Structure 1
Amino acid sequence: MPKPDPVRSQKLSRVGPRQYSDGRPQKNLWCHSGATSVVLTTVVDSQLLYTIEIKIADATSVLRGELASLKAENDSAIVSLKNKMETNASAIVELTDAANLSSDTVRDLERSVETLRKQVTTLTEKCLDLEGRSKRNNLRVAGLKEGRENGRDTRELAAQLLKDALDLDETPLIDRAHRALRRKPGDGEPPRQLIIRLHYCHTFEDIMKKVMGTKELVYQGDKIRIFRDLLAEVAKRRAMFTPVRRMLRDKPGVRYGLLYPAKLRISHDDTEKFFTDPEEARRYVARHLEEAE
């Protein structure tokens, strides 16, 4: 029997039983040394490919699970958001209705307030007019020293004062006369004004004309001033026309006067204007009278 060739036995090798990564046995492969590398490469490639497929399958399974979990969470969140949106939409509708109702109510209240404001303004003017009419025959005398009465009735003093100071033909008939209702002034303080109510309206008008035509009034050595007994509000309104009246002074061909209670009349170039707003009167004078100069 021939002996085996030792060289051939070295070149011929046996690939023993192998297993795949999942434990499956591989067939025994006999190969010559020239084809060994090719066979081994093929086996390794197959094994790697199978391993990669397994890992891809595992990763895919994990990703699918995570995606399913994420989808479930998203679905739950979306449902919750939808519910909240529906709730918010319902609340917005209610708020819109309430806002519209409030807006309508506010408009109604504004109209009511405007109506009431006009009524209050009208009633205020009527009250001022009525109170002013109750004082339309009243005069005030400022500058008459305290104690000039000297025991006489104040009406007698007032009648004699008007006759002497204004050089009247007759002694005026006086209904009432008294000092201003405040405490008696001390030394160095101005005397209280004397308030006089005349009986006849025409007497009042005659006296006011005399006052306007007299530069200085003196009674028993006292320099006095005589003027209408005006309401505080009326006096305030009339005082607001003082700057405009100063602008009208010494204007050639311009006549002006302050009517009761507080209405400025301006006459020039056959034109007559009436103003109850001092600012409007000032603009008119600045535009039509001062620019004309």
Structure 2
Amino acid sequence: MKRQGKKGPQAMQVNATLEEVTAAADGMSDKEFRIYMLQMIWSIKEDIKQQNQTMKDHFDNELRKQIQEAKDQLYREIEVIKNKQSEILEMQEAINQLKNSMENTTSRVEHLEDRTSDNEDKVFQLEKNIDSSARLLRNHEQNIQEIWDNIKRPNLRVIGIQEGTELQTKGMSSLFNEIIRENFPDLKNETESQILEAYRTPNVQNHKRSTPRHIIMKMPNIQNKERILKATRERKQITFRGKPIRITADLSTQTLKARRSWNNIFQTLKENGFQPRIVYPAKLSFRMENEIKTFHDKQKFKEFAARKPSLQNILAKVLQEEEMENNNENQQWEVGQ
């Protein structure tokens, strides 16, 4: 028993199995068993301590490794942040430069807007001045036209008398009297020898021109001129020595242009029984609804026609054609400018 007990505790391995421990305990005394158990406990503690140390070392290594990896990752991220920070600073610098450029551009735009506004004001004032000058010019032209028409009002214009005929008749007065005797014998006593002056126009003869110059005859009063013009309209065919001639009122160029501007409207009104007339110097007169309507301005006539459906229907085509013609003239004028 003692022999076996002496061998047991020293020779036993610490990691002996339960069967081995039981088998060893059978040959031990109580003291030996306690010593054996203490050794076993100490051995287990040492094993646990060693395992703990191993695990601790393993965990420490893993932790250090993870910490190092985290530090490396952090350093990389810090480096990236530094690089990005540099890029951000560059972008910020570019933004600041762009902002300064925009501020300069905005300042220049505001300056240009101020100058543009000033120029617009100047243009507006210039347009007002031009409009005012244009009105003054139109009024001036109208006044000149009226003065010229008043000067010409007693005059008759004779068209178609061959050059040199006044020499054959021994003067314009004899020529005039011959026209009166041939065409208006009833007016012979009233108008014969009643011209204040007479001349051809233009003053200088153009020998390349096949038609003779017109003769202007100034009557002593408007009444005599009107009587001759009335008789001319009634006779319709005026002659001198058997050849046809024309006798008209002597009007300024502007008045003739204004009269001609009524031609299409005049013809349309005549075809529809409105009995139109051109009243001195360039007014349109016609009968409508048992009243005499007179217009010296075409725009006012158009406004009047727009309020009269029957008249508007009659003149729609003529007014539309005139509008298109005016637009074409304006476009050509703008192209010419």
Aligned position for 2:16: none
Higher strand proportion, which one? 1
- Please say if 1:121 is aligned against 2:138: yes
Match of 2:254 among 210, 213, 233: 233
Letter in 2 for 1:144: I
Do the aligned residues in 1 keep the contact of 2:158 with 2:215 (CA within 8 Å)? yes
Q: 1:145 to 1:85 in 2, by over 3 A?
A: closer
Match of 1:164 among 182, 187, 192: 182
Which stretch of the first structure deviates more once superposed, 97-106 or 132-141? 97-106
Shift of 1:120: 1.3
- Please say if 1:199 is aligned against 2:228: no
Aligned position for 1:67: 84
Do the aligned residues in 1 keep the contact of 2:173 with 2:193 (CA within 8 Å)? no
Secondary structure in 1 matching 2:166: coil
Shift of 1:123: 0.9
Secondary structure in 2 matching 1:84: helix
Do the aligned residues in 2 keep the contact of 1:173 with 1:200 (CA within 8 Å)? no
Do the aligned residues in 2 keep the contact of 1:162 with 1:172 (CA within 8 Å)? no
Do the aligned residues in 2 keep the contact of 1:176 with 1:197 (CA within 8 Å)? yes
Do the aligned residues in 1 keep the contact of 2:174 with 2:193 (CA within 8 Å)? no
Q: Deviations over 1:213-265 (max 9, x none)?
A: 1121122121111111122221121112112221222545x433212221101
Using the size of structure 2 for normalisation, the TM-score is 0.64
Letter in 1 for 2:145: L
Aligned position for 1:25: none
Match of 1:153 among 171, 176, 183: 171
Distance in 2 of aligned mates of 1:162 and 1:177: 15
Q: 1:57 to 1:186 in 2, by over 3 A?
A: closer
Gaps of 5+ in 1: 1-37
Secondary structure in 2 matching 1:191: coil
Identity of aligned pairs, percent? Answer: 22
Distance in 2 of aligned mates of 1:204 and 1:233: 21
Q: Deviations over 1:9-58 (max 9, x none)?
A: xxxxxxxxxxxxxxxxxxxxxxxxxxxxx999879856753553353143
Aligned position for 2:230: 209
- Please say if 1:183 is aligned against 2:205: yes
Do the aligned residues in 2 keep the contact of 1:179 with 1:195 (CA within 8 Å)? yes
Aligned position for 2:310: 288
Shift of 1:194: 2.0
Aligned position for 1:276: 296
Do the aligned residues in 1 keep the contact of 2:176 with 2:193 (CA within 8 Å)? no
Letter in 2 for 1:271: E
Shift of 1:209: 1.5
Do the aligned residues in 1 keep the contact of 2:166 with 2:175 (CA within 8 Å)? yes
- Please say if 1:255 is aligned against 2:275: yes
Shift of 1:173: 1.5
- Report how many aligned residue pairs link the two structures: 256
Higher helix proportion, which one? 2
Aligned position for 1:85: 102
Distance in 2 of aligned mates of 1:275 and 1:76: 76
Distance in 1 of aligned mates of 2:208 and 2:139: 42
Secondary structure in 2 matching 1:95: helix
Which stretch of the first structure deviates more once superposed, 262-271 or 130-139? 262-271
Which stretch of the first structure deviates more once superposed, 126-135 or 159-168? 159-168
Structure showing greater Rg: 2
Using the size of structure 1 for normalisation, the TM-score is 0.73
Q: 1:74 to 1:186 in 2, by over 3 A?
A: closer
Shift of 1:281: 4.3
Alignment RMSD (CA, Å): 3.3
